């Protein structure tokens, strides 16, 4: 076997390993990219963010960049079909954020589509406009 | 000198009259006994149980897990707990419950065609004032009954009252992931931090006072409107309109002016809005008391003509 052939084989093996690591990376790092959410909350009605895949056992993350009227809202995590994922709640006002404890990954033995649910904490007569970012994983 | 009353009760004259106040203690006691033992109070009792059930169900069967905390029975009590929808529903119905308990003094007598007899026996002015005061007291009892029953039930099930810190966020605005009963940003938190029992007493008295005022408004309306049950609807509609003022004025009036918000003491509000809870409380008391006394004086003036 000549030297060029060895280098070619080594490069091929390296490429395969690198490619597999690329695919494995999300499972190791978790789905931590922050996507935007916005909601218009009336009385006790709830509003959901779109679903995203939860890829590890870490807490979810949510930040409220804006909550109208100086109001307070709460957020928690649910599964794709609104399954209970043993989520804790976070209280949010404008400019605050929180980690949402949950057991989605453990309860469903692996990756699971989840969303955040939002609700007013008081019985207001007008709607609450709220917006921010969230991610299903935090590490 | 003795006075023989309608039901044959014999009592000394100087024992039954509050000189200068235009009220009769005997009529007041009779009126209160009738209100508190009426079928309407049974309806309020049933509504209380339903409200407590709603609060328990929506807290215990929520689709989230409420964090553990130091044992405190207030965690299961409407107005104090931040969770559950019982608080909002209770405060929304409060004027109606209060009116149901206390606003029927005049309309009930009129409905059973006893008004003329009662007025002749007791005197017109004294009857009006006593009706107003009895309405206030009965309304206070009816309005506060769901809260008191909830307090008693929760205290019996979990007789602990350990202090729970109300700090929700760290300096960076990150939620601290722990159970908070009354937020440190709530307008009632300073009272709660000083003394929890004092906080309970203050909240119960505030609910009772405002309930009584809504019932007194209903009594005042019944002086002028002969149609029955209007005295139940007017306090509720007035409360509803006041609650909707932020929407009707495009946000010029803050949410905190309504008792539905300022009596729900668990959640916090921002620094600028916290004082609006006190403004709302003061406005509610002054406007309701003013309207009730105004209606009473207008009726007395009309009677003098």
A31-135: CATH topology: Jelly Rolls (2.60.120)
Note the pLDDT of residue B5: 43
Summarised one tens digit per residue, pLDDT across range A102-129 is 999 999 999 999 999 999 999 999 999 9
Least CB–CB distance from A88: residue in B67, B243, B245 = B67
CA-to-CA distance for B159 and B175, rounded, in angstroms?
29
Neighbour count for residue A44 (Cβ, 10 Å): 16
Q: What is the pLDDT of residues B26-60, one digit of tens each?
A: 888 988 998 899 999 999 999 999 999 999 999 99
Distance from CA of A89 to the nearest CA of B (A): 7
Min distance A139 CA to chain B CA atoms (Å) = 16
Nearest CA-CA distance, residue A51 and chain B, Å: 17
Between vectors from CA B89 to CA B84 and to CA B90, what angle results, nearest 5°? 100
Task: Please list every residue in chain B whose beta carbon sits closer than 8 Å to the beta carbon of residue A114.
Answer: none
Which among A44, A86, A126 has the least Cβ separation from residue B246? Answer: A126
Q: Average pLDDT, stretch A31-59?
A: 95
pTM (2 decimals)?
0.86
- In which residue ranges of chain B is pLDDT below 70? 1-23, 113, 115-122
Residues 6+ apart with CB under 8 A from A73: A41, A64, A67, A91, A92, A93, A118, A119, A120, A121, A128, A130
Q: Residues in chain B whose beta carbon is closer than 8 A to a beta carbon of chain A?
A: 63-67, 82, 85, 87-89, 91-92, 168-169, 173-175, 177, 180, 183, 243-247, 251, 254-255, 258, 260-261, 264, 266-270, 272-273
Going B253 to B254 to B256 to B261, the CA torsion angle's sign is: positive
A69 at the B interface (CB within 8 A)? Answer: yes
- Tell me, what's the pLDDT at B257? 96
Q: Between vectors from CA B238 to CA B58 and to CA B115, what angle results, nearest 5°?
A: 110
Q: Do B91 and A88 touch (CB under 8 A)?
A: no
Angle, helices B124-157 vs B196-224, to 10°: value is 150
What pLDDT was estimated at residue A119? 96
3-class DSSP assignment, residue A25: helix
Q: What does each C-alpha distance from B145 to A105, B205, B230, B264 come to in angstroms?
A: 45, 12, 23, 16
Residue A20's SS3 state is helix
Which of B63, B65, B255 has its CB closest to that of A124? B255
- Check CB contact of A37 with chain B, cutoff 8 Å: no
Q: Which helix (H) or strand (E) holds A63?
A: strand A60-67
Q: Which residue has the tokens 């309304």?
A: B139
Average pLDDT over residues A130-137: 97
Q: Identify the pLDDT of residue B10.
A: 38
- Chain A residues inside the 8 Å CB shell of B168: 91
Name which of A69, A84, A90 is nearest B63 (Cβ-Cβ).
Answer: A84
At B120 the pLDDT is 64
Q: Using N-to-C axis directions, what is the helix angle for B39-60 and B25-36, rounded to 10°? A: 50
For residue B254, the chain A residue with the least C-alpha distance is A69
Angstroms from A101 CA to nearest CA on chain B: 8
Please state, in angstroms and rounded to a whole number, the distance separating the CA atoms of residues B250 and B54: 32
Residue of A nearest to B264 (CA): A122
Q: Which residues of A touch B183 (CB under 8 A)?
A: 72, 91
Beta pairing partners, A112: A54
pLDDT at A1 over 60: no
Check CB contact of A82 with chain B, cutoff 8 Å: yes
In chain A, residues with a C-beta closer than 8 Å to the C-beta of B260 are 122-123, 125
Interface test with B, best of A46, A67, A70 (most B CBs within 10 A): A70
For chain B, say whether A73 makes contact (Cβ under 8 Å). Answer: no
Give B-chain residues touching A124 at CB under 8 angstroms: 246, 255, 261
Shortest CA gap B255–chain A (Å): 7
User: Where in chain A are the domains?
Assistant: 1-30, 31-135
For residue B177, give the nearest of A99, A122, A124 by CB distance.
A99
Q: What is the pLDDT of residues A73-102, one digit of tens each?
A: 999 999 999 999 999 999 999 999 999 999
Q: What is the pLDDT of residue A125?
A: 92
| Count of pairs with CB atoms under 8 A, one residue in A, one in B | 98
């Amino acid at each position: 076997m000549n030297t060029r052939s060895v280098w070619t084989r080594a490069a091929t093996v390296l490429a395969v390993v690198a490619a597999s690591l690329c695919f494995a990376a999300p499972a190791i790092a978790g789905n931590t990219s922050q996507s935007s959410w916005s909601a218009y909350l009336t009385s006790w009605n709830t509003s959901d963010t779109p679903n995203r895949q939860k890829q590890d056992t870490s807490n979810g993350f949510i930040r409220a960049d804006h909550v109208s009227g100086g109001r307070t809202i709460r957020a928690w995590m649910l599964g794709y079909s609104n399954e209970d994922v043993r989520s804790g709640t976070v209280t949010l006002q404008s400019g605050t954020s929180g980690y949402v404890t949950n057991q989605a990954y453990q309860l469903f033995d692996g990756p699971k589509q989840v969303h955040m649910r939002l609700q007013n904490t008081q019985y207001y007569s007008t709607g609450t406009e709220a917006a921010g970012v969230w991610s299903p994983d935090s590490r | 000198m003795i006075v023989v009353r309608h039901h044959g009760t014999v009592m000394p004259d100087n024992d039954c009259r509050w000189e200068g106040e235009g009220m009769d203690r005997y009529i007041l006691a009779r009126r209160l006994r009738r209100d508190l033992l009426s079928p309407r109070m049974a309806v309020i009792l049933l509504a209380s149980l339903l409200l407590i059930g709603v609060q328990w169900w929506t807290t215990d069967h929520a689709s989230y897990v409420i964090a553990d905390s130091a044992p405190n029975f207030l965690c299961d009590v409407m107005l104090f707990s931040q969770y559950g929808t019982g608080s909002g529903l209770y405060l929304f119905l409060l004027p109606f419950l209060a009116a149901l308990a206390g606003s029927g003094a005049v309309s009930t007598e009129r409905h059973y065609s006893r008004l003329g007899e009662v007025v002749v026996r007791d005197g017109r002015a004294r009857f009006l004032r006593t009706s107003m005061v009895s309405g206030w007291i009965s309304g206070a009892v009816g309005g506060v009954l769901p809260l008191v029953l909830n307090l008693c039930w929760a205290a019996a099930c979990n007789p602990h009252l350990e202090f729970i810190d109300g700090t929700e966020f760290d300096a960076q605005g990150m939620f601290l992931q722990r159970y908070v009963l009354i937020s440190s940003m709530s307008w009632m938190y300073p009272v709660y931090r000083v003394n929890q029992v004092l906080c309970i007493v203050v909240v119960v008295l505030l609910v009772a006072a405002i309930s009584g005022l809504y019932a007194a408004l209903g009594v005042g309306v019944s002086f002028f409107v002969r149609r029955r049950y209007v005295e139940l609807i007017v306090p509720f509609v007035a409360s509803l309109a006041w609650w909707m003022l932020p929407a009707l004025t495009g946000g010029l009036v803050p949410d905190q002016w309504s008792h539905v918000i300022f009596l729900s003491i668990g959640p916090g509000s921002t620094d600028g809005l916290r004082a609006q809870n006190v403004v709302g409380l003061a406005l509610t008391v002054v406007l309701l008391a003013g309207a009730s006394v105004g209606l009473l004086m207008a009726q007395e003036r009309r009677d003098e003509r």
